[in-house]
Amino acid sequence: MTEKSHDPNQMTGAAMIVRALIDHGVTDIFGYPGGAVLPIYDEIFQQSDVQHILVRHEQGAGHAAEGYARSTGKPGVVLVTSGPGATNMVTPLTDALMDSIPLVCITGQVPTHLIGNDAFQECDTVGITRPCTKHNWLVRDVNDLAKVLHEAFYVATSGRPGPVLVDVPKDVQFATGTYHPPRKSDVHISYSPRVKGDAAQIRKAVALLANAKRPVIYSGGGVINSGPEASKLLRELVEVTGFPITSTLMGLGAYPASGKNWLGMLGMHGTYEANMTMHDCDVMLCVGARFDDRITGRVDAFSPGSKKIHIDIDPSSINKNIRVDVPIIGDCGNILGDILQVFKAEARKPDIKQWWQQIAQWRARNSLFYRKNNDIILPQHAIQRLFELTRGKDTYITTEVGQHQMWAAQFFGFEEPHRWMTSGGLGTMGYGLPAAVGVQVAHPDSLVIDIAGDASVQMTIQEMSTAVQYELPIKIFILNNQYMGMVRQWQQLLHGNRLSHSYSEALPDFVKLAEAYGCVGIQALKPADLDGAIKEMIAVKRPVIFDCRVAALENCFPMIPSGKAHNEMLLPEQANDEATATAFAGGKALV
């Protein structure tokens, strides 16, 4: 007995949790206390290796951890209590699952003998979160805890990354058991994600690329998730082949926006040149993207004449929406490296001068055109100014969801991966502000800006208090159009302009709100004020809420109406009433 108590690996479940975090190199976690996690909070109190950031709502903890993860490539860690603490995590877990973000969420649970009794703050956490995690565990025995925690980190960060959840009943936190450091055997033998691509498939892919007349590279969030090396290799591949490249919303920054082969983002609000290039290409190389409906539009008219190569770490992404010719399963970075090697050894840069001439014609349509105004700030202009004035700075951008998000994607040029954090798959309003908190925790000296909408920002505005508490100088740049602009746009285009509940009635005074939180409030009303106000925002070393009053009824173009093909895109200068009516005819039922 006495011998055992000297064993340094004998400890309580709560202590094991903190130990495991340290063993996995975790330095910051986001959380909110409650009855079922008090033993863990007690352990946190008695150490200083892991910093705990106290949020104001568990959803905030989840999105903050997502921002942290996306901007660092490390897993984000969340600690919340049972019942409402756990249910408040459902949105960020789902968000992380859709966007393949590694999160480890630890939840407290009522003691094992009370499970199933409808105990106070009991809920079936693993049941509720089963469909919104990559995997989850309920730990009933303290001696299983170390293994489960180590496996949780492995599952979250390997293969296609994603959120995991470990539910720990309070009696397991109190119980004493044996801890062990991470080891290989902690992982299910049934789980072994594939990293290396099949050599024969890679050869087929290179043969297609080398003989392409009208090629395009279409990259996605998988390249970012694969790590900085993958982005480097992607850039090299573009250089070596001379091919045009576009990317999904999630993939921005893998190839620099200033690069000469950059076509801009593709998809529903992508550029004309990107979508037309996709539609007319003869060889498409899809790297770490998943052909989702915002990208493909009408599936049977999606790039009808092309041979498609698809690199993805998740076999279930292959042939889900679009049949591809050469699937390659494995890690993007690894496979890009192999493709480059074979290409350099065996192929020459194909001559695609004619294709570039065609692309130049599409580019000349200037699909991101908007009419500037001297009296009213155009939202696109605001983003452009924000971009220009932060150029060369160490900047990270997060967004909420709506028109402002699309304008940010269109008009802010990303030069590096991991600089752009947005809720793509789930489209979660309220993501950006807490995500900015998480990014700033990871990068205390960088400029972190949430490009926000007046409606979205109110969903998680309480996290300003977190920013103030931890002296996180995040900038909330609200494109305030006094509408749920994206909803209003769809109502205008598809529902006879009946603006049902999309007006942001009774908006708070954002400047006063900032002051109430102890932040700095800044407002810009006129184009002439804009630059000065943005500079002021950048100069302030405290959290800022920036109320940028923009044109209320501006629409986000270009746009592929959902269910239409890439070449049926609506351009800004064509978007008169009649063209709009035809473009959207019959599309009401779509999302």
Partner 1 sequence: MNQPASAYFIEERHDPNETHTLSVLVQNEPGVLARVIGLFSGRGYNIESLTVSETESQKHLSRITIVTTGTPMVIEQIKHQLDRMIPVYRVVDMTLTKRSIERELAMVKVRGQGEHRVEALRLADAFRARVIDATTESFVFEITGNTDKINQFIDLMRPIGLVEVSRTGVAAIGRGPEGM
Q: How far apart are CA 313 and CA 299, in angstroms?
A: 22
Of 483 and 517, CB closest to Mg ion: 483
Residue of 62, 75, 330, 453 interacting with Mg ion (CB under 5 A): 453
Catalytic residue from among 43, 58, 273, 463: 58
Binders in 502-531 for partner 1, by CB under 8 A: none
Q: Which two tokens stand for residue 144?
A: 């299983």
Catalytic residue from among 276, 278, 486, 569: 486
Q: Using CB under 8 A, which of the segments 71-79, 132-140, 359-367, 511-519 binds partner 1? A: 132-140
Could you list the beta-strand ranges (E) of 400-442: 420-421
Active site residue 170: yes
Q: How far apart are CA 127 and CA 556, in angstroms?
A: 39
Count interface residues toward partner 1 (CB under 8 A). 35
Residue of 320, 358, 387, 470 interacting with partner 1 (CB under 8 A): 320
Nearest approach in angstroms of CB 455 to Mg ion is 5
300 binds partner 1 (CB under 8 A): yes
Residues 6+ apart with CB under 8 A from 401: 422, 423, 427, 428, 429, 431, 453, 456, 486
Query: Site mask, partner 1, residues 350-379, x = CB under 8 A?
Result: ------------------------------
Binders in 458-487 for Mg ion, by CB under 5 A: 481, 483, 485
- Judged by DSSP in three states, 506 sits in coil
Active site residue 120: yes
Active site residue 58: yes
Q: Which does 84 bind (CB under 5 to 8 A by kind): ligand TPP, partner 1, Mg ion, none?
A: none
Q: Which does 456 bind (CB under 5 to 8 A by kind): Mg ion, partner 1, ligand TPP, none?
A: ligand TPP
Active site residue 122: no
Of 323 and 526, CB closest to partner 1: 323
Q: Using CB under 8 A, which of the segments 230-238, 291-299, 390-398, 407-415 binds partner 1? A: 291-299
Name all contacts of 196-201 with Cβ < 8 Å and 24+ positions apart.
196/330, 196/331, 196/334, 196/335, 196/338, 197/311, 197/328, 197/329, 197/330, 197/334, 197/335, 197/338, 198/328, 198/329, 198/330, 199/338, 201/326, 201/327, 201/328
**Residue 391 dihedral angles phi and psi, to the nearest 5°:** -55, 135
585 binds partner 1 (CB under 8 A): no
Could you list the beta-strand ranges (E) of 510-559: 520-524, 544-549
176 binds partner 1 (CB under 8 A): no
Nearest approach in angstroms of CB 495 to Mg ion is 18
Q: Which does 487 bind (CB under 5 to 8 A by kind): Mg ion, partner 1, ligand TPP, none?
A: ligand TPP
Catalytic residue from among 11, 134, 151, 170: 170
Residue of 4, 47, 51, 127 interacting with partner 1 (CB under 8 A): 127
432 binds Mg ion (CB under 5 A): no
Nearest approach in angstroms of CB 190 to partner 1 is 4
Query: 3-state SS string over 206-225?
Result: HHHHHCCCCEEEEECHHHHH
559: left (phi over 0), alpha (psi -120 to 50) or beta: beta
Active site residue 372: no
Q: Which two tokens stand for residue 173?
A: 């936190």
Of 66 and 292, CB closest to partner 1: 292
Q: Using CB under 8 A, which of the segments 88-96, 297-305, 391-399, 447-455 binds partner 1? A: 297-305
State the CB neighbour count (10 A cutoff) for residue 207: 15
**C-alpha angle 513-516-520 in degrees, rounded to nearest 5:** 75
182 binds partner 1 (CB under 8 A): no
Q: Pairing mode, if any, of strands 262-265 and 135-138?
A: unpaired
Q: Which does 400 bind (CB under 5 to 8 A by kind): partner 1, ligand TPP, Mg ion, none?
A: ligand TPP
Q: How far apart are CA 43 and CA 313, in angstroms?
A: 38
Of 29 and 487, CB closest to Mg ion: 487
Residue among 469, 552, 470, 478 at smallest CA distance from 509: 478
Q: How far apart are CA 273 and CA 266, in angstroms?
A: 8
Cis peptide before 527 (omega within 30 of 0): no
**C-alpha angle 461-457-580 in degrees, rounded to nearest 5:** 170
Of 179 and 546, CB closest to ligand TPP: 546
CA quadruple 557, 560, 562, 566: dihedral, nearest 10:
-160
| Residue count of the chain | 591
Binding region for Mg ion (CB under 5 A) = 453-454, 481, 483, 485
Which residues are catalytic, by number? 58, 120-121, 170, 486
Interacting residues with partner 1 (CB under 8 A): 126-127, 130-131, 134-135, 138, 155, 160, 188-191, 292-293, 296-300, 302, 314-316, 318-323, 562-563, 589-591
